[in-house]
Amino acid sequence: MSDRGGSPVVASRDNARVTAARRLHERKHRERDRRFLIEGPHPLEEAIAADAPVTELFHLWDDETPAVRSVVERAARAGIAPIRVSRGVLAWLATTQTPQGVVAVCAYPDDVSPSALAAGFVPVLVEVQDPGNVGTVLRSAEASGATGAVLSTGSVDLYSPKVVRSSAGSLFHLPVARDVSASGAVDALRSAGSRVLAASSDGSVSIHDEDLAGRVAVLFGNEARGLPPDVVALADGTVRIPIHGRAESLNLAAAATVVLFEAARQRSERARTAHPEDA
C-alpha cells in the first residue's frame, strides 16, 4: 500500500519489522531481544535528545499534528528512518487504547551497577510493583538531582510500556541499576561509600533531622507491604516523613518524592554554607 507521492505505507501486521516490534509487548521478548517500545512524541523526543539507541520509528502515515511531525523530522535528522504505517498497524503496535501517532523501538542501554551511582543520593526501590509509581520516582529523582536509581529484583519491569510512559522521558536521562537484589544493592552502594537508610513510617529519625546531603541511599518498599524486616536490618538506620494531618501514610511515589527533594534542599543549603559568596 502507498499514498500518492509518498513512500510505501505498511498496512500488514505480517510485515517482518512490525512483527518484531509487536513482540516487545511481552517482557520475555524484551529481555531476549534487549529492546523495548517508546510510545508517543514526547518520550521519543526525550530519547532522541539523550542519544538513546532508537533503532526504528513507526508513525501514522497521515498524522500531521505538530508534535508527531516534529519528532518524525527530528528522528530523520538523527538518521532514524521513519516507517509509515496504517491506523490498524499503529493500533496493533501500541499498548494504549488511543495511540499518539508514533511508536519506536529502542535498544536497552548498557547495564548499570549500583556502585556507579554512589556519588550522591540514590533511591532504591525494593519489590515495587506499580509502574506508575516507578515512573514517578524516576521523574522525581531526575528533577531533584539524584545520581541514579536502583530497581530491585521482584519489581516491575523497568522497560514495560507503562513505566516508560510514566517516566515522561526521565528514563533516558537517569541511570538506573535494575534486577539486583536488595542485599546486593546495599553491599555495592555501601562499598562505594554510601550510607544506607531505610524509609519507614515508624523510622527512628525524621528526614529533616537526618543528613541526606552526601552519599546516601534510601530504601523504599513495596506499595502494600513496605520493606521486609530483613531488608530494613541491612540499613544503617531508618528515617520517617513527619505526618502532620490525619493521613496514616503517603503513597510510595509521594513519599519518595518528599525524601528526594529534602535531600536536594539539604545539598543546596550545604553548598550555600560552604560558598556564601555564591548565594
Q: pLDDT (tens digit, 9 = 90+) per residue, 139-171?
A: 999 999 999 999 999 999 999 999 999 999 999
Q: How confident is the model at residue 249 (pLDDT cuts 50, 70, 90)?
A: confident
Mean pLDDT of 190-215: 96
Mean pLDDT of the chain: 93
Instruction: State how beta strands 205-206 and 102-107 pair.
Output: unpaired
Domain span at residue 74 reads 16-107
Non-local (6+) Cβ contacts of 97 within 8 A are none
pLDDT score, position 62: 87
Q: Same domain for 64 and 140?
A: no
Q: What is the mean pLDDT of residues 12-25?
A: 97
96 and 119 in one domain? no
State percent of the chain over pLDDT 90. 86
Same domain, 121 and 38: no
Buried b (16+ CB within 10 A) or exposed e, 203-212: beeebeebeb
- Rounded to whole angstroms, the Cα distance separating 123 from 250 reads 16
| Residue 6 placed within a domain | no
Q: What is the DSSP code string of the chain?
A: -B-TTS-B-B--TT-HHHHHHHGGGSHHHHHHHTEEEEESHHHHHHHHHTT--EEEEEEETT---HHHHHHHHHHHHTT--EEEE-HHHHHHH-SSSS--SEEEEEEPPPP--GGGGTTSEEEEE-S---HHHHHHHHHHHHHHT-S-EEEETTSPPTTSHHHHHHTTTGGGTS-EEEEE-HHHHHHHHHHTT-EEEEE-TT-SEETTTS--SSSEEEEE-BTTTBS-HHHHTTSSEEEE----SS-----HHHHHHHHHHHHHHHHHHHHHHH-GGG-
Q: Same domain, yes or no, for 80 and 154?
A: no
Q: What is the mean pLDDT of the segment spanning 113-129?
A: 97
| Shared-domain flag, residues 145 and 69 | no
Residues 79, 135 within the same domain: no
Same domain as 138, residue 39: no
Candidates 65, 46, 41, 67; CA nearest to 57 is 41
pLDDT band at 224 (very low <50, low <70, confident <90, very high): confident
Name the domain boundary from 82, 107, 132: 107
CATH number, domain at 27? 3.30.1330.30
Q: Which of 74, 107, 140 is the last residue of a domain?
A: 107
pLDDT, tens only, 28-40: 999 999 999 999 9
Residues 133 and 96 in one domain: no
Confidence of residue 64 (pLDDT cuts 50, 70, 90): confident
Q: Is 277 exposed, middle or buried (0-12, 13-18, 19+ CB in 10 A)?
A: exposed
Q: Are residues 138 and 90 in the same domain?
A: no
**For position 247, which CATH number holds?**
3.40.1280.10
**Res 196: pLDDT:** 98
What residues contact residue 20 under an 8 Å CB cut-off, 6+ apart? 33, 105
Question: Would 7 be classed as within a structural domain?
Answer: no
**Domain co-membership, 210 together with 258:** yes
Residue 86: all three cell numbers together: 496504517
140 and 41 together in one domain: no
Q: What are phi and psi of 54, to 5 degrees?
A: -75, 125
Q: For residue 279, what pLDDT is reported?
A: 53
- For the chain, the domain total comes to 2
Q: Which of 107, 123, 142 is the last residue of a domain?
A: 107
Residues 273 and 152 in one domain: yes
CA proximity to 105, closest of 40, 27, 37, 31: 37
Q: What are 151's strand-pairing partners?
A: 125, 178
Confidence of residue 278 (pLDDT cuts 50, 70, 90): low
Looking at the domain assignment, is residue 247 inside a domain?
Answer: yes
Q: What is the rounded average pLDDT of the residues 56-73? A: 91
Instruction: Measure the CA–CA gap between 98 and 180, rounded to whole angstroms.
Output: 34
